[in-house]
Structure 1
């Protein structure tokens, strides 16, 4: 089965991006799907784009398989969420490779401590844990990670 195509998200897809985001987040078991959560994410997507997100989708012949949001100047991978029916099919790895093309030297990210599946995956992908901190808006403890291009990391030692 071919991998989806990664492309910039269109504004007319923002509601669908929010739906994929919610379904993937809910699949972690950390929150339940709700109209409130979906409305919150739908409001957040255009606001975050306005505030600097580069927003991409993984398009599987017109169906959104995943969403990816990056802050390129900050070298920050903000959101990477794969729809539940596409999890385990290398879509996340494809999005991470795409992210490394856009931020080849260094990438920062954070994820919820209780989302063990996510942070273990990032660690397997070469991200190094740096710290934990409570996110005041949500109350979740966040794990902060950094990935550096191996050659870049060697020059800094």
Structure 2
């Protein structure tokens, strides 16, 4: 059973390695502006200690997913390539919505069509497209937003 839990400092390298494997598999044509060691340093020095970082722990000590929240910004959601399509991303998004019930936003690259389909399936809507000049990779991207539905009359729970 995969457990979603808050990351500890000891998880930083393994979380970075999930990011590296996932990025490489999902976005092979996107140029990374940082080396593997720089990514690991960033996770160790900034992401895990300063951001709300969650990991998916396989139970045998291996991390197979990482999600990073910064307020309503879902800034990272990466799964080990071998763990895609098993519902783990769905669990992370449900958790993110629980932790940010008033809404979420995120950026993904325009080239990442599977991510578009994934987030749209979870109720996110594309609200902005850019030419990539605002990101380190210089890759065109898209911003997605999720807002909870307002409960209408027909959706209000019945009093018992």
CA distance in 1, matches of 2:29, 2:13: 19
Structure 2, unpaired ranges of 5+: 152-160
Question: Which residue matches 2:62?
Answer: 63
CA distance in 2, matches of 1:114, 1:70: 23
Q: TM-score, normalised by structure 2?
A: 0.84
Hey, what's the Cα distance between the residues in 2 that align with 1:31 and 1:12? Answer: 31
Of Structure 1 and Structure 2, the greater strand share is in 1
Asked whether the equivalents of residues 22 and 37 of structure 1 are also in contact (C-alpha less than 8 Å), the reply is: no
| Paired positions, count | 147
Equivalent residue for 1:89? Answer: 86
The offset of 1:26, in angstroms, is 0.8
Aligned partners of 2:22 and 2:79 also within 8 Å? yes
Structure 1: 4+ residue segments shifted above 3 A: none
Give the alignment's TM-score, normalised by structure 1.
Answer: 0.85
- Maintained 8 Å contact 2:12/2:48: no
Q: Report the CA distance between 1:29 and its aligned residue.
A: 3.6
Q: Aligned to 1:98, which of 95, 100, 103?
A: 95
1:37 alignment partner in structure 2: 35
Which has the greater radius of gyration? 2
Q: Contact 1:108–1:146 at 8 Å: present in 2 too?
A: yes
Q: RMSD of aligned C-alpha atoms?
A: 2.2
